[in-house]
Amino acid sequence: MGIDLTVDLGKIKLQNPILTASGTYGYNVEFDDFVDVKNLGSIVTKAITLNPRLGNEGDRLFETEAGMINRIGLENVGFKKFIECKKVILDDKKIPYILNIAGNSFEEYFELAKLCEENNIKAIEVNVSCPNVKSGCLEFGTNPETLLELTKGIRKNYNGFLIIKLTPNTSDIESLALSAQNGGADCISAINTVKGLGVRLDFINGKFKKTMVQGGLSGKCIKPIALSMIKRIKEVVSIPIIGIGGVSNFKDLLEFFAVGASCVQIGTENFTNPDVTETILKDLKEFMKNNNFKTLEELKGELR
């Protein structure tokens, strides 16, 4: 018998625990030159809103030590074009995917949920944690009562696998996680980016030139925050958790398993090492084979 890497999340089962994070992997085939995306547990699409969005103007990326700050602003093609131009490719290529959705209002989230149900989208990740837009997302994801109401409304309109993506920009991640679970979520993903400010100073002809980018910090530098948040979430909920934040190698994967994550999403590291997902998957298989772990659940049990 071979090694069993499957992850049972309830309504869906993944072939392995390696996923990609929203906003770092495009919609479908952008990474075809680097990896066979069909071999991943799933890809999570760029956030989709009801209508197309151009995103923020000005500087939108800022490189930091061990990470980056982005203020893309949820630029995307909109739901209709996703169905017409992106979903068909995902379906034809049999690429497992989760659709990330975002909205400016309860009504937009509810309409998106209804459309996902009508278009047979099997899994969605609800973005209530992006810090880079003026309305929606984060303002819904930092208040437990608001998040509970939002999750209930989405659940009413959508019967598929429902993931709520939580923000780290809170002092009470436990209450938010419980709101997601009590509202009907099947799973929690955490964390989204951490609010940060990038400052670059250039001294030119006797004068300072200052560039500042305020946005969401991601990458290796936020891993300790992510691990802490996931451990805290695990202590209060019974639904599965997808860990996100600074995963860049096999050791990181084990750390996220150790604190309670069922699987992980890999984000910023894709920009530096486009084949990182396949590398981590290969290292996981080799470790399990060399150390006589037959199933992923057995490995997680030892880690915990």
What pLDDT digit, counting tens, does each position of 210-253 carry? 999 999 999 999 999 999 999 999 999 999 999 999 999 999 99
pLDDT digit string, tens, across residues 112-162: 999 999 999 999 999 997 655 554 555 678 899 999 999 999 999 999 999
Strands 42-44 and 18-20: parallel
**Tokens describing residue 76:** 């995307």
The confidence score (pLDDT) of residue 56 equals: 85
Residue pLDDT, tens place only, 69-95: 998 888 999 999 999 999 999 998 888
Coil, helix or strand at residue 30 = coil
Rounded to 5 degrees, φ, ψ at 30 are -60, -25
- Which positions are catalytic? 130
Whether residue 191 has a cis bond before it, omega within 30° of 0: yes
Mean pLDDT, rounded, for 167-174: 94
Q: Look up residue 155 and give its two tokens.
A: 């659940």
Q: What is the CA radius of gyration of the chain?
A: 19
Helix, coil or strand: residue 284: helix
The residue to which tokens 């995917």 are assigned: 97
In sequence order, which ranges of the chain are alpha helices (DSSP H)? 79-81, 88-92, 106-118, 138-141, 144-157, 173-182, 223-234, 250-258, 269-272, 276-290, 296-303
Indicate the SS3 state at residue 209.
Answer: strand
| Cα(269)–Cα(218) distance, integer angstroms | 9
Among 116, 92, 90, residue whose Cα is nearest residue 27: 90
Q: Alpha-carbon distance 75 to 50, whole Å?
A: 12
Cis? peptide before 3, omega within 30° of 0: no
Token pair belonging to 107 = 């009504």
Distance CA 191, CA 242 (A): 9
Query: How many angstroms separate the CA atoms of 81 and 225, rounded?
Result: 36
Looking at residue 38, the DSSP 8-state letter turns out to be G
pLDDT at 137: 58
Q: Phi/psi at 283 (nearest 5 deg)?
A: -65, -35
Q: Does residue 54 carry a pLDDT above 90?
A: no
CB 218 within 8 A of CB 193: yes
Q: How far apart are CA 283 and CA 122, in angstroms?
A: 29
Q: Cβ atoms within 10 A of the Cβ of 297, count?
A: 13
Question: pTM of the full predicted structure?
Answer: 0.94
